[in-house]
Amino acid sequence: MNGCVTVPASELRARARVSLSGRWGSAILAAVIYYLLLTLPLTILEQVTGAAPLDYQTMWELFRSHNWSDAISTSSLVGDFYLLLVTGPLTLGLAQFILTMARNGAEEPKPWDVINGFSSFGRAFGTYLLIVIFTFLWSLLFIIPGIIAAYRYRMAYYILLDEPEIGPLEAISRSKQLMVGNKWKLFCLDFSYILWLLLGSLFYGLLMIFVLPYYQNGVAQFYLEALDQRRSLERARLRPDYQVIDEGVVGVRRDEEDEDDD
């Protein structure tokens, strides 16, 4: 036992389907709320201001000509700033909804839990900002280190929910610890959803309201499994009849070891 997730992706997806059974209505509504809050204000801003998507070449030309107002409008900085502010809280709120559902406890998740992330705005925003910065810095080395870094931080929002007393940096640090030996496993889980994600991209992405709950529930199941494995490892480390080497637990009883020495 080494604290790594050993459950195959197919089993995690099966758990996600069980978790969603009888709850698809609320899950889809939560996805709709999430996407509306993330994209509708941007659409309104674009219609009102005529701001185009971020175009670095056009923006650079406008800045060179000292046309500051057009540069700001063209680069859609208002929309980018909006996304910077709300992505973290919305991600935390969606994680709360999905994690409550994945645990299949007595508490029933509610679609409007998606907006609960704003009640912890500072922690959610800080976590998102740090993840963006750290991932960007690693990406400067090459695209692969950036992808690996992104996988290191994937559990940070779940950890924020489970440990409300910690801050963004600590959540990211604990996510890195939890993902030791698990990054490839999570990548395999993501890849197992590839056809679903491609399906969700059809019809201007409208089908994502069905795919997102299923996919995110699978990731939440991964988190719960990784957490359970890590806690089992920590409990094993405390047992006097086991020796721990690096990240592995060697099941050798001390009395048996003494007998071998004799």
Residue 1: pLDDT band with limits 50, 70, 90:
very low
Span 206-257, pLDDT tens digits: 899 999 999 999 999 999 999 998 888 777 666 665 554 444 444 444 444 4
- pTM passes above 0.85: no
Checking if the pLDDT of 65 tops 70, the result is no
Span 135-154, pLDDT tens digits: 999 999 889 999 999 999 99
What distance in Å separates the CA atoms of residue 90 and residue 167, rounded to the nearest whole number? Answer: 17
Is residue 244 helix, strand or coil? strand
Is residue 225 helix, strand or coil? helix
What was the pLDDT predicted at 237?
Answer: 66
Residue 69: pLDDT band with limits 50, 70, 90:
low
So where are the chain's domains?
Answer: 9-261
Helix (H) or strand (E) holding 4: none
Span 86-109, pLDDT tens digits: 999 999 999 999 999 999 876 889
What was the pLDDT predicted at 94?
Answer: 97
Q: Residue 204 has what DSSP assignment?
A: G
Span 171-207, pLDDT tens digits: 999 999 999 999 999 999 999 999 999 998 888 788 9
Using CA atoms, how far residue 163 sits from 11, 64, 166, in Å, is: 27, 48, 6
Residue 102's CB is within 10 A of a number of other CB atoms, namely 25
Residue 45's CB is within 10 A of a number of other CB atoms, namely 15
